[in-house]
Structure 1
Amino acid sequence: MAFACKLLQNFLALFILALTVVCVPGEAAFSRFLKFKSASFPNSKYAVDENWFVQRLDHFNGADSRIWKQRYFVNDRFYKPGGPVFLMIGGEGPANPAWMQYGTWLTYAEKFGALCLLLEHRFYGKSHPTKDLSLESLRFLSSRQALADLAHFRTVTAESRGLTSSKWVAFGGSYPGSLAAWFRLKYPHLIHASVATSAPVYATANFPEYLEVVWRSLAAETPECPLLVKKASDTLIAHLKDPQTYDNVTKDFRLCSKLQIQSDMDSAYLLETLAGSFMDVVQYNEDNRAFEGVVGTNITVKVLCRLMLDSSLGDPYDRFAAVTRLLQDTFSQACTDVQYLHYLQDMSNTSWSGAEAGGGRQWVYQTCTEFGFYQSTDSPNQPFGGFPLPYYLQQCRDIYNLTGSVANAVQQTNEEYGGYDIRTTRIVFPNGSIDPWHALGVTSNITNDLPAVFIKGTAHCANMYPARAEDLPELMLARDQIFLLLQKWLKE
């Protein structure tokens, strides 16, 4: 979900990344996932070993015999002979082995006697198919290649472990949720069913609906909140047009260097980065990333709106700055880097040791060549301004020197997978009403065998996290509903 949020880049090192995004910036909004998607999971008494699978580099060229090793994890402590196989799909960040120890899918696995596997996505984490992240190498990064990886892994693993007659179920959240749905769609002979959580199945270059959901989610807390955010954003935009205010902006938002605006890209990058504070908190509002001793954050929509309504902090602009400083303090960040040039330098580094090799360079490439997902301000029904669609499209040119049409790439993706019009069976689509990504997901039943579970009041991937006493009744009911569907489908 492509977009440039340097705030992620500042906070990213504080977290172990899981699947993913959206559970996922000068990166894509989807990359912003990586910051909140998974907090650090605790140590467990269960050891989780790394395993390696010999994978093909190019599944669509039989003359290409090159191979590489893909990382995966195994949890067999619940497995009973004849039980199903649960395959968790990795996404736009390192696969987190903690998913082999925690999560709702393990509750299901214990009840069904399932073997649990987690396969890391090519080009993320330690799964390096190529020597670098050059444009020549990145041409082997796509959802189609990732699905073929899953298919080959499933086939070989089933044969080697005596699981050819077992029913396989795919799980994923966010982009991996889309992959879970598409895996069942494209390889129905290999995958019996899928749980596609918070899955943006419809590709689109321009995605202003994301910020429209942010507006509604803030307004659900108090109608005045998004209005104040808009006033603050408008004031900030006005300041960016007056060089005499730059020193104040630098101080107010604790920028890492004196503000300089030399182009529209500089302005847009700053505005998107600072808006990311609200976008991230809304997307992951009150989910259960902090559990079992995990260090998380209790910054919620309620907290943000409380600050925005606090007149003792000054005018709405001052309150917006206070929100940024709160997040900086929470994540022990001295300052925020909002220089577009720095972002370009990091994103253009093709080394596996580069600052954006953890996922930023790879994911934004996928948004440029497959998905779009650009969370623009091209709608009057949202609280921010200053980062329109052309800002994101320019990043594709600046970072990768890509000259192709993102619109054409998006069209090809929807032609490949069907967008909202998925034609298969046995996929469930859980989505949260607070999560802005639900705007590109399936929120009402396609058929009885392609049901949606729309969870009022919950955020991105909330149903995937372990249950807790504070969970909304709708979330508890959703987990039970998914269990009953799996129970039904595994009997078929």
Structure 2
Amino acid sequence: MTPCNAFYRVTSSVYTGTSAECGLTILASWKAIDNVTKTVEGKAWLSQKWKLCSPLTNDYDVLNLKQWVSELYVNLAMINYPYPANFLTPLPGNPVKELCKPMKNHTEDDLTLLGSVFKGLNVYFNYTGTSKCMDVLSSSAPTLGEKGWNYQSCTEMVMPMCSNGVKDIFEKQPWNFEENAKNCLATYGVQPSIYAIEKTYGGKNLNAASNIIFSNGLLDPWSSGGVLQDISKTVLAVVIPESAHHLDLRASHPKDPESVIKARKFYKNWIKKWIFHYQKHSTRDSNNSFVKQQIVLTI
């Protein structure tokens, strides 16, 4: 099973790789939020400064805000495409770079730092300039249909995720299977089967499989649980350094990185080989069957 800290570690690398100061600013922002929202006045200030649709009134609201922002960072890392796109929400090309531009000094005082962070968040939730407020009570990816994914992660697609604020830019958040199982039961009435996928598909023990290409972009947080090395001569791994989430499966674009273009050519060549090999053997088997029928008829 994938280590629980892997997902957020890869997510963090997308930001720190873009700007070390950006990563440090995001990391510092969690404590800044806590400091500012200790008072009623602070909650009101942040609600106004960040243009929240629903003002912060208690500690639960603050926790929900931080979780929403964390999810935003994950989503933006996933869709960090080199050209404008609207997969989850309308965004400019290289959106992580755009988000990081205002986050230049992690040593700023709390109020100034949170002002800088908001300017960055604005790239995600209001790039078009049409959003009147930031709705942290809704999903940060409303077009994704994530409830289905949440249900899957509570049944057969169990993926441990944790963060520690040391090797990543997120708050410390442990992963506990028992606690996760309780939440799944309360929300969906189901219990997670932690090894279901491994039992069904064999995990990484795929020596008996064939004709599979596992492709992973290193800018995609999900690559943390991907197959990154060849399993056999016909179960292959393609690692794409410059690719975010399924960039290689999107339509071609003039700004596609060279590594993505090469990956697509690799897929095409191998799939052609598989089809040719299948058709060759299919024709041979068909001819053998015809010969056998002729022999039977002759006898």
TM-score by length of 1: 0.49
Give the equivalent residue in structure 2 for 1:412.
196
Q: Is 1:399–2:196 an aligned residue pair?
A: no
Percent identity (aligned): 21
SS at match of 1:410: coil
Which runs of 5 or more structure 2 residues have no equivalent in the other structure? 278-299
Amino acid at match of 2:184: C
* Structure 2 partner of 1:380: 166
Could you tell me how far apart the structure 2 residues matched to 1:299 and 1:465 are?
A: 16
* Aligned-CA RMSD value: 3.2
Q: Give a deviation string over 1:330-370, Cα, whole Å, max 9, x none.
A: 2533223335xx88xxxxxxxxxxxx998333321111111
- Is residue 333 of structure 1 aligned with residue 131 of structure 2? yes
Larger radius of gyration, structure 1 or 2? Answer: 2
| 2:235 pairs with 1:450 | yes
Give the 5 Å matches for 1:21-60: none
Partner of 1:36: none
Tell me, yes or no, if the aligned pair for 1:432 and 1:457 is still in contact at 8 Å: yes
Match of 2:211 in 1: 426
State whether residues 287 and 458 of structure 1, in contact with CA within 8 Å, keep that contact through their aligned partners in structure 2. Answer: no
Question: For 1:279 and 1:357, how far apart are their aligned partners in 2?
Answer: 15
C-alpha separation in 2, matches of 1:388 and 1:401: 23
Pairing partner for 1:363 from 149, 167, 171: 149
Rounded to whole Å, the distance in 1 between the matches of 2:266 and 2:144 is 35
In the other structure, the counterpart of 2:282 is none
Q: Name the one with the larger helix percent.
A: 2
Note if contact 2:25-2:105 (Cα within 8 Å) is conserved in structure 1: no
Q: 1:481: how far off?
A: 0.9
Deviation string, structure 1 residues 234-254 (Cα, Å, up to 9, x no partner): 211333444442112212222
Partner of 1:324: 121
Asked if 2 retains the 8 angstrom alpha-carbon contact of 1:432 and 1:459, the reply is yes
Distance 1:358 1:269 in 2: 19
Q: SS of 2:162's equivalent?
A: coil
In 2, the alpha carbon distance for the partners of 1:357 and 1:459 equals: 18
Question: Following the alignment from structure 1 to structure 2, what is the Cα–Cα distance between the partners of residues 295 and 412?
Answer: 36
> How many residue pairs get matched?
267
CA distance in 2 between counterparts of 1:276 and 1:221 reads 18
In the alignment, is the contact (CA less than 8 A) between 1:290 and 1:297 conserved in 2?
yes
Larger strand proportion of the pair: 1
The alpha-carbon deviation at position 207 of structure 1 amounts to: 3.6
Q: Distance in 2 between matches of 1:309 and 1:440?
A: 31
Question: Tell me, what secondary structure is at the counterpart of 2:213?
Answer: strand
Distance 1:388 1:271 in 2: 16
Paired residues for 1:82-231 under 5 Å: 207-231=4-28
Assess if the C-alpha contact under 8 Å between 1:254 and 1:335 holds in 2. yes
Give the superposition deviation at 1:326.
Answer: 3.2
CA distance in 1, matches of 2:116, 2:205: 43
* Deviation string, structure 1 residues 148-168 (Cα, Å, up to 9, x no partner): xxxxxxxxxxxxxxxxxxxxx
Is the Cα–Cα contact under 8 Å of residues 288 and 466 in structure 1 kept in the other structure?
no
Quote the offset at 1:209 in angstroms: 1.6
Preserved CA contact (<8 Å) 1:212 1:382:
yes
For the Cα contact (< 8 Å) 1:288–1:465, is it kept in 2? no
User: Which residue of 423, 427, 435 corresponds with 2:220?
Assistant: 435
The AA in structure 2 aligned to 1:277 is: L
Separation of aligned partners in 2, 1:277 and 1:434: 15
Distance 1:239 1:397 in 2: 35
Deviation of 1:215 after TM superposition, in Å, equals 1.7
User: In 2 relative to 1, CA 214–372 (structure 1 residues): closer, same or farther, beyond 3 Å?
Assistant: same
Change (3 A) 1:361 1:284: closer
Cα 1:372–1:240 change in 2 (3 A) is: farther
Contact 2:8 2:168 in 1 (8 A): yes
Cα distance in 1 for residues equivalent to 2:252 and 2:241: 16
